[in-house]
Structure 1
Amino acid sequence: MSDEDISLDEKRVYADKTKTATAFVAAGAGLARVSISDDIVGEFSLEHRSTVTDVATADGRLAIATPEDVLIGDGEAFVETGFGPATAVDYHDGLVAAGGGTVARYDGGWEPLGDLDDVRAIDGDMVAAASGIHRLDGTHVGLDAATDVTTAVGPLAATESGLYYLANGWMSALDGAFSVVAGAGETAHAATAETLYERDGGEWSPVELPVGGAVAGVAYAEATYAVTEDGTFLANAGDGWRHRSLGLPDVAAIAVL
């Protein structure tokens, strides 16, 4: 069901009885703030008007990567950090960013951790880059053409040739050109341009979504959230997927504050 079909009064009553979350969506037009009540996608607004390539949150902190700099803030006001053009950000023992061939950590200033080109994503102590999966210091730990990585559920890596999990080396989970992987608790998701997959009990199966479009990111809080590259936001609190169009194309990432 699309949330455009739900009355404003119903949304207000429903929101009073359920937990709420705030998601941030990185897109070509900027950073969107999206309010979600359980699985109802509510109000949204554009909080930063310039291309955002990645977004990360942790303990009430928010950081965004842009073609100009890494910005930190509260979702409404942002300050520059002096990193320069960035492609990926994450929080792991502080704010970590990548861009311009460098991976660095921020603590009032930027401390270089390693040299690495064409970084696509950072999660925990792992980096997904065109050359494969690396540690933050640039050490290569396997695979090629990595597009995304998560360490939250035991390392999972999305690559242009398949989805992999780390056991005794990198083991194949699914074949295909994967661009997204995410996980939390016992749940994990991964996506190709055509299909979103969910891992349940160790087995991966395709997810039937109510809309088309390639999934650009998945995040978790009180529910499971996903966003498509063409700007449709989806939420599933256990009773199926609800969705709403944000009207923002070129979506790159999602994070929940």
Structure 2
Amino acid sequence: MAHDLTIDEKRVYADRTGAAEVLIAAEQGVVAVSLSADLVGEFGLDHRAPVRDVATTENRRVVATSEDVLVGSYEPAGFGPAVAVGFDDAGAALAAGPDGRVARLDGGWTTLGTVDDPRAVDGGLIATADGVHRVVDDGLRDVGLGDVTDVHGRGTPLAATASGLYRLGNGWMAERDGAFVAVSAADGDRAAAADGSGVVVREAAGEWSAVETPATDVVDVGFTDAATVAVTATGTLLADAGDGWRTRELGVTGVSRLAIQ
């Protein structure tokens, strides 16, 4: 694996190459990868400690660990153990603990409510064992579904569940059957999801198709401006900029999530 870079070094590298920064949550820590289209540049451990989740918005990041939520330059935020993190529509950090407590960081932590088995946070939506919950004012509202494994909350919301993919319109509308573990979307109708055996993509509304990937244990998907990105549980990064998948072994294990900054 490449030498460990400081955060400032990575930003200089990314600025020089026009690359996106992909953050990987793994049991060894946060891996920061510079990705230009589908080409991997410098990568290394940005923070050393088991990480459960990582999320970004603009130039900010938030990290969930078994000890605390980390913000900024991996500074403890005083939440306690967390299993999922994200941001709401206003850009405030959200965190969910293993006990189901969901809170928002705004100066201090404001508890919004409790859910059953939180799994993912995005755009003010919480994916849980008993459905999707939305952050409303200083509370949570149950907005339906069940056994939700991931959620994309920006733009038109999408949910990955044990029984299929759903899009939120006039209620939740089924998009594709199957057991899905992750979902993400880009501008327009582009979206991707992982079902434990590979990746499905959507280029137009309602038109999902399976794509052949060089790995089957994909646990998360996302988009840069130039590529579709995925990561496996065993630490393989996949990127497709239109000419098929390129892969790079990152030298980590126990991968759970990715975020793109």
TM tier, smaller: 0.7 to 0.9
Shift of the 134–16 alpha-carbon distance from structure 1 to 2, 3 Å rule, reads closer
**Which residue pairs with 1:127 in the alignment?**
126
Equivalence map 1:17-32=2 (5 Å): 19-32=18-31
Q: Distance in 2 between matches of 1:207 and 1:106?
A: 38
1:190 lines up with 2:193 in the alignment: yes
Aligned residues: 239
Letter in 2 for 1:96: L
**Which residue pairs with 1:215 in the alignment?**
218
**Among 65, 86, 89, the residue aligned to 2:85:** 89
Helix, strand or coil at the partner of 2:140? coil
Asked whether the equivalents of residues 192 and 222 of structure 2 are also in contact (C-alpha less than 8 Å), the reply is: no
For residues 111-146 of structure 1, the C-alpha deviation after alignment (integer angstroms, 9 at most, x for no partner) is 111221311011112110011111123321111110
Equivalence map 1:64-103=2 (5 Å): 64-73=63-72, 77-92=73-88, 93=90, 94-99=92-97, 100-103=99-102
Q: Distance in 2 between matches of 1:111 and 1:151?
A: 20
Letter in 1 for 2:193: A
Letter in 2 for 1:218: V
**Which residue pairs with 1:164 in the alignment?**
166
Tell me how large the CA RMSD over aligned residues is: 1.7
For residues 205-236 of structure 1, the C-alpha deviation after alignment (integer angstroms, 9 at most, x for no partner) is 00111x22321111222222111111111112
Q: Distance in 2 between matches of 1:221 and 1:191?
A: 17
Q: Distance in 2 between matches of 1:53 and 1:230?
A: 14
Letter in 1 for 2:172: W
For residues 155-182 of structure 1, the C-alpha deviation after alignment (integer angstroms, 9 at most, x for no partner) is 1111111111122221211111111010
Equivalence map 1:131-150=2 (5 Å): 131-136=130-135, 137-150=139-152
1:231 lines up with 2:227 in the alignment: no
Q: Distance in 2 between matches of 1:47 and 1:201?
A: 36
Letter in 1 for 2:208: W
Q: Distance in 1 between matches of 2:49 and 2:75?
A: 14
Question: 4+ residue stretches of structure 1 with deviation over 3 A?
Answer: 15-18
Letter in 2 for 1:256: I
Letter in 1 for 2:24: V
Q: Distance in 2 between matches of 1:17 and 1:88?
A: 32
Q: Distance in 2 between matches of 1:116 and 1:194?
A: 29
Q: Distance in 1 between matches of 2:128 and 2:204?
A: 29
Q: Percent identity?
A: 50
Q: TM-score, normalised by structure 2?
A: 0.87
**Among 167, 173, 176, the residue aligned to 1:174:** 176
Asked whether the equivalents of residues 97 and 104 of structure 1 are also in contact (C-alpha less than 8 Å), the reply is: yes
Helix, strand or coil at the partner of 1:250? coil
Helix, strand or coil at the partner of 1:181? strand
Structure 2 segments unaligned to the other structure (5+ residues): 1-13
Asked whether the equivalents of residues 152 and 185 of structure 1 are also in contact (C-alpha less than 8 Å), the reply is: no
Structure 1 segments unaligned to the other structure (5+ residues): 1-14
Q: Distance in 2 between matches of 1:224 and 1:154?
A: 18
Letter in 2 for 1:194: S
**Which residue pairs with 2:10 in the alignment?**
none
**Cα displacement (A) at 1:18:** 5.6
Asked whether the equivalents of residues 18 and 38 of structure 1 are also in contact (C-alpha less than 8 Å), the reply is: no
Q: Distance in 2 between matches of 1:104 and 1:201?
A: 35
